[in-house]
């Protein structure tokens, strides 16, 4: 009896998977292209001329700071404000800043902070592939979207 059960399951699974009519086609969204358009529009509207890293991070260093720069493994204290290209703030640190290990943060934020020295400030424009990709962040509804952080590196701990 068991061999017939396995044979039945195999035939059932194979036939349900092999029918192209029963497979629902999923529309793929090109977030890279959408993000790039959103970033270019934001830059144009705000008359900004950032640098772009190989990861896709756009950044504007307004004050480089002094001393050493952190690494991706550094513990740092930062003050930040996060918002969308529409200007709506989704997260903000207290004025005294928050301690983080850069390795625990989203790639774009971590990378951007490594371009600063203590007391340095920058604006980071982060596409979703190095931010919150493909709608993985429902609480802020930012998945797949471009996010921006104004960051000040207070100190390297």
In this predicted model, what pLDDT tens digit does every residue of 10-26 receive, in sequence order?
444 444 454 444 445 55
Average pLDDT, whole number, for the chain?
Answer: 84
Report the pLDDT value the prediction gives residue 157, as an integer from 0 to 100: 94
Going from N- to C-terminal start, the domains of the chain cover: 29-156
CB < 8 Å & 24+ apart, contacts of 34-39: 34/144, 35/127, 35/128, 35/129, 35/144, 35/145, 35/146, 36/127, 38/85, 38/145, 38/146, 39/85, 39/125, 39/127, 39/146
Which of 18-27, 30-39, 54-63 holds the top average pLDDT?
Answer: 54-63
Q: How does pLDDT run across 70-108, given as a tens digit for each residue?
A: 999 999 999 999 999 999 999 999 999 999 999 999 999
pLDDT of residue 144: 77
Domain 29-156 maps to which CATH number in 3.90.1150.10, 3.10.50.40, 1.50.10.20, 3.40.190.80? 3.10.50.40
Query: Looking at residue 111, what is its pLDDT?
Result: 98
Which pLDDT score is estimated for 30? Answer: 83
Task: Give the pLDDT confidence score for residue 136 in this predicted structure.
Answer: 52
**Residue 138 pLDDT more than 70?**
no
């Amino acid at each position: 009896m068991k061999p017939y059960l396995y044979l039945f399951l195999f035939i059932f699974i194979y036939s349900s998977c092999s029918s192209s009519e029963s497979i629902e086609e999923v529309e793929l969204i090109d977030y890279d292209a959408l993000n790039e358009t959103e970033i270019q529009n934001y830059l144009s509207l705000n008359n900004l001329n950032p640098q772009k890293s190989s990861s896709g991070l756009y950044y504007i260093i307004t004050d480089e700071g002094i001393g050493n720069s952190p690494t991706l493994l550094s513990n740092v204290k930062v003050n930040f404000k996060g918002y969308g290209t529409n200007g709506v703030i989704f997260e903000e640190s207290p004025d005294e800043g928050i301690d983080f290990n850069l390795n625990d943060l989203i790639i774009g934020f971590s990378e951007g902070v490594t371009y600063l020295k203590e007391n340095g400030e920058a604006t980071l424009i982060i596409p979703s592939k190095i931010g919150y990709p493909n709608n993985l962040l429902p609480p802020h509804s930012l998945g797949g979207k471009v996010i921006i952080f104004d960051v000040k590196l207070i100190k390297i701990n």
